[in-house]
Amino acid sequence: MAEVRTEKHLVNKRDSEMNISTLHAKIERLEQELQETRVLLARETHDAETITRELVQTRAYAFSAKTLPIDEVVEGCADSLSRYGFCVIDNVIPDSEVAVIRAEVKAAQSTIARNKQALRKLLDEEGLNPHELLENPTVTDKVELRPVRRAGHPPKPPNDIVWMPQYGKHLANPFVTAVARRALDDHLRIAQLHLRIIETSRTDGTPGGFGSVKYRGRPDSREWHTDWPHDLSAYGRDDPGRNVGCVRQPFPDVTMCLVMIWYLTDVDENSGGTWVVPGSHKDKRNPRGPSDGITVTAPIPGDMQITAPAGSVYIQDSRSWHASAMHNPSGRERIAVVNRWCPWWLSVDDYAPDGIDNMVCQPLDHAEYLALPAELQPLMRHLCPGERDTLQQPVLDRAKAASLRARWGFQQLEENPDGLSDANAHIRVPIGPSN
């Protein structure tokens, strides 16, 4: 009887292995057919340029905080982020407040520029050691600096938010935070915040647009890139003192950062709308990829410019290929505030030990932190060295639920050990083909 059972076991094992092998072969065949079908569908119906034309016409990527309930906005934005790599929430800042905040941002631009000039004078002309600036009693009268959390790194100018309290009241808008939590995680951190103002063409013939004047003015010029932590140049290139780090290519299919651009002027194709390539967040190539054959200054088939009314927020996956407009003949500046939102598990430490002037994690002192709106404080707590940056409550709630589930399993082991042999019989873990 033992021999019969052994033979039967071997037959069952062989049949099982054949069945698994057949299933793997079927998966590979179906995946190949699916890919071929997608290619055919793209050729016959909706190629990239056709999809882009429809997006431009319909603004299917945009959802209004003024007219839609928050659940619909979150669902729509989540689908658009997954499908295209970006979305827009219209009317986040009420129309009645846009002009006041726009003026505040313009004033902040002047303050920030003066502070940067003073800092550069201290470093370049007076030759002061950046790591010793806060120890010099004459420095605090000349420039605004704050200590950073990371030990051994120099101080930095304060976070731009300190110059924009009216804007700060809207930064933790519930529509925005709900979309960010859906895409990233329950514990959010704002790792970077800065102004992005695109000049308009001047009467003396100086072309409008972003970047160096000599490259501006052409509507067919670009400067394609992806954003931190997917910025391959990592700000500092090969300088270890200034490189802040980046994710290695090919990027994993995980949303690690959301870049938000808060438009304070209307934007369209001729007034500084952000360029983007729909779907590029899923592409394994990168505009700056050394081996990817992409020219960063040239148009890409299917690219488009975002349109949005003032007070709206453009949100993109940091992997999306995008560019600031290098032309702006509208007769007015494009005024915006940019921030990068990250989940708690992504390191937002500034790895550039000489990066006194980069925008990563610009700090707050304790009084500035406490002056933030209560709902904004958890998102910027990591920027204040005087605050303990503990995990936010939703993450702790998840951990508690997981702990209770594990404890329940051990209770079953104590109460019914003989009944556990088939308790997980319904669980099947698929094993995909190797790459």
If you average pLDDT over every residue of the chain, what do you get? Answer: 91
pLDDT in tens, 253-305: 999 999 999 999 999 999 999 999 999 999 999 999 999 999 999 999 999 99
282 within a domain of the structure (yes/no): yes
pLDDT in tens, 54-69: 999 999 999 999 999 9
Model confidence band, residue 166 (pLDDT cutoffs 50, 70, 90): very high
Residue 195 near residue 160 (C-beta atoms within 8 A): yes
Flag whether pLDDT at 11 surpasses 60: no
Q: Where among 40, 58, 76 does a domain terminate? A: 58
Q: State pTM to two decimals.
A: 0.86
User: pLDDT at position 412, please?
Assistant: 95
Residue 319 near residue 280 (C-beta atoms within 8 A): yes
429 within a domain of the structure (yes/no): no
Select from 123, 150, 149, 151 the least CA-distant residue to 136. Answer: 123
User: pLDDT at position 16, please?
Assistant: 65
177 within a domain of the structure (yes/no): yes
Do 220 and 208 belong to one domain?
A: yes
Each residue of 225-235: b (16+ CB within 10 Å) or e?
bbbbbbbbebb
**CATH number of the domain that 290 lies in?**
2.60.120.620
Q: Report how far residue 223's alpha carbon sits from residue 90's, in angstroms, rounded to the nearest whole number.
A: 26
Do 70 and 44 belong to one domain?
A: no
User: pLDDT at position 12, please?
Assistant: 61
Q: Report how far residue 328's alpha carbon sits from residue 217's, in angstroms, rounded to the nearest whole number.
A: 7
416 within a domain of the structure (yes/no): no
Residue 86 near residue 315 (C-beta atoms within 8 A): yes
Do 29 and 137 belong to one domain?
A: no
pLDDT in tens, 221-256: 999 999 999 999 988 889 888 888 899 999 999 999
pLDDT in tens, 359-370: 889 999 999 999
Do 149 and 271 belong to one domain?
A: yes
Model confidence band, residue 2 (pLDDT cutoffs 50, 70, 90): low
Do 131 and 245 belong to one domain?
A: yes
Flag whether pLDDT at 45 surpasses 90: no
Flag whether pLDDT at 9 surpasses 70: no
125 within a domain of the structure (yes/no): yes
CA diameter of the chain: 100
Flag whether pLDDT at 135 surpasses 90: no
Write the DSSP assignment of 385-402 as a string of letters: TTS--PPPHHHHHHHHHH
Q: Residue 385: which domain range?
A: 61-397
Of the given ranges (30-39, 182-191, 240-249, 270-279), which has the lowest mean pLDDT? 30-39
**Higher pLDDT pick, 151 / 327:** 327
